[in-house]
Structure 1
Amino acid sequence: MTPKYIKWALFLVPALVIGGFETIRHTLLENVLPMELGNWVTAIIDAAVIAVVSRTLFQQFARTEKELSKEKESRAILEERERLSRALHDQIAQSIFYSGVQVNAAQTKAVQYDDKELQVQLGDVLLSLREIDENVRQAIFNLKHKTIDGGNLEERIRSYLDKTLSTSRITWEVSFPEQPVVLSPSEQVQLFGILQEAVTNIIKHANATQVHVRFETGTSDKWNFQIYDNGIGFDIQSVGGRRYGLDIISNRARDIDAELMVESSNKGTMVAIRRL
C-alpha cells in the first residue's frame, strides 16, 4: 500500500467504523449500552482502528529508514574506496613510475659502461617495478568497483577482462547462467581475486590467444567457476616460481570452503573452483 492510500485509509476507515458503531449504538444498542460506557467503547474502537491502519504506515516508514541507512552506509564505503584509489594513483603509482624511469636511465648507463651484471640486476628491478605497478593498478581497479551486496559479479568480470585484455591479442568469453547468481560478498571477492591471478598468469606465461570464464550453478548452493585458456600449459608438478600464484588461488578457494582443481596440457590450462 502506497503512502497516499495509507493517508486516505487513516482518514476514512476510523470515520466509517466509528460512524457505523455510533449508528448501531443509538439504534439497536440504545437501551442496552449505557451512555458513559458507550463513550468508552467508542474511544477504544477508535484507538484500535487507528492503530491497525497506522501499523502499515509505521512498517513502511521503518523499511524506508532501513533502506536509507543502508544506502548511506554503502555510499560512505564507496566514497572511502574512491579516496583510497586516488591516494594509490596519485602517490604510490606515480612514485613507482618515477622509480622506473630512474632505473631505466641507470640501465642505459650500465650498457654504456658494458657492465653485464649490473644490467641484469637493473633488469630484475625493472621487472619487479612493473609487477608492483600492475598490482597497484589492479588494486585501484578493485577499489573502484563495488563488491558489496547486490554487486554483479558477471559485470565486474566482463569489465575487468575488457580493460585488461583490450591491448593484447587475447580474446575472451564469459558464460553465466540466465538466472542471477546469488553469492555472498566474500565469495564474490575471492572468486574475482582468483580470476585476476589466473589472468595475470595467462598473460605472463601461457602464450594464449583465448580465455574463457564460465560459471555454472547446481542445486542449493552448489556452483562451479572455471577459467581456461588455449595456451602452452605447464607441468603442475614443477612450476617453480609460478607455484606462488597457485598458492594464492588455493588459499582464496579455501577461504570460501571451495575445492580447487587445476588441469594443464600443451593445449591449455583450466582452473576450476567448485563448491560441490
Structure 2
Amino acid sequence: MRNNRGNHRSIKWLILLIPTLTIGLWEYVRHAFLLPYFSMELGNFLAPFIVLAVTLTLVRSLFARLEQSQRALQREKETNAALEERENLARELHDGISQSMFLLAVKLDQLDALADEGPVKELAEGLRETVRVMNEDVRQAIANLRLPPSPAAAAWVVPLRELLGETAAMTEAHAEFNWSIPDASLTDKEKVELHACVREALINVRKHAKASKVLVVGEANGLGGFRCSVEDDGKGFNGDPLNVHGRFGLRMVRDRATSMGWSFLAERRGDRTIIELSKMGGKAL
C-alpha cells in the first residue's frame, strides 16, 4: 500500500507541475532560439495551444494512471478491512467455541473414567467423537479465516495446489490441478470465498472419500463467470450428502456459494463424485 500511496502522490505532483514546466520550457526555447523567427504576439498566442497539446497527451494519461492508482488503493483498503474482520472472527472462534469444546472434551474424559462398561460409556465415546469432528471443523474454519486473500496474480491459488498435493500424498491418490480462471475476473471477496469452498471440498475428500484420483478444475465460461469443481473416484455418498449426520463441510460450501449468488452441485456421475461451483457471469459481487 505504501508504494501505491507514493505513486498516487507523485502523479498528483506531476499533474500540477507539467503545465508550469511546459510554459517555462516554451518561454526559454522561444527567447533563446526562436525569437528571431517568432514575434512576441505570436509566441503569446501559441503558448496556450502548446499547454493544451501537452495536457491532452501527458496530463491526460497521468489522470488515467491516477484513477488506476485510486482504484488500487481502494481495493487494498477493502482487502485489509476484510483481513482484519476475518482475523477478529478467527480470534473469537478460537477464544470462544474452540476452548469451550476443549473443556467439553476434558469433561467427557472424566465421565468416561467414572463410567463402567455399558450405555453411559458408549454415550461418552459417541459424544467424544462428535466433539472431535466439530473441533476439527472449527480449527479448519479458523485456518480458512486466517488465509490472506492476495490480489497478486494467482498467489491465492498456490495453497490450493499444495493442499491437493498433501491430500494426494495422504491418501496415495493421483492428483490433477487444472486452473485457468483469469485472476482479474474475480474480486477479492470472490477469491476468498472460492478458496474456502475448494479447500473445504478437498478436506472432505481427504477425510471421507478414500479416492485413488482427485481432480481440481477451475475454468472461465467465456461470459465473465466460471466453473470450479473438485472431483474424485472415491466411495461417494448415499442419498443427500448435505443431510449426513455429523458432517458439515459440504453444507458450509453450499452456504458460501449461495451467499455469493453461485450455483452449487454435489452429485455422483458414474464412478466420480463431483462438487461443483459455478457463476454464470455478469456483475461481480
Q: What TM-score comes out, normalization by structure 1 length? A: 0.68
Aligned match of 1:99: 104
Greater Cα offset, 200-209 or 124-133 = 200-209
Tell me what 1:236 maps to: 239
Q: 1:171 to 1:101 in 2, by over 3 A?
A: farther
Q: For residue 216 of structure 2, what is the amino acid of its counterpart?
A: V
Q: 1:100 to 1:274 in 2, by over 3 A?
A: same
- 2:26 corresponding residue in structure 1: 17
Partner of 2:194: 191
Cα distance change of structure 1 residues 258 and 138 upon mapping to structure 2, 3 Å threshold: same
Whole-angstrom CA distance in 2 between matches of 1:134 and 1:204: 11
In the alignment of these two chains, the number of paired residues is 263
190 and 45 in structure 1: CA distance in 2 versus 1, 3 angstrom threshold: closer
Superposed CA RMSD in Å reads 4.3
Partner of residue 175 from structure 1, selected from 177, 188, 205: 177
User: Tell me, which stretches of 5 or more residues in structure 1 are unaligned?
Assistant: none
Contact 2:171/2:206 (8 A) holds in 1: no
Match of 2:215 among 192, 206, 212: 212
Q: What corresponds to 2:3 in structure 1?
A: none
The answer to whether the 8 Å contact 1:190/1:256 transfers is: no
Match of 2:136 in 1: 134
Distance 2:172 2:107 in 1: 31
Residues 228-273 of structure 1 show CA distances to partners (whole Å, capped at 9, x for unaligned) of 22222233369852697655544544443435251155x4422233
**1:98–1:155 CA distance, 2 compared to 1 (3 A):** same
What is the alpha-carbon distance in structure 2 between the residues aligned to residue 25 and residue 67 of structure 1? 47
For residues 37-186 of structure 1, what are the structure 2 equivalents within 5 Å? 64=69, 67-68=72-73, 70-110=75-115, 113-114=116-117, 116-147=118-149, 149-150=151-152, 152=154, 153-161=156-164, 165=167, 168-171=170-173, 173-177=175-179, 180-181=182-183, 182-186=185-189
Gaps in structure 2 of 5+ consecutive residues:
1-6, 281-285
Q: Percent identity between the aligned chains?
A: 24
Distance in 2 (alpha carbons) for counterparts of 1:24 and 1:270: 76
TM-score (norm 2): 0.67
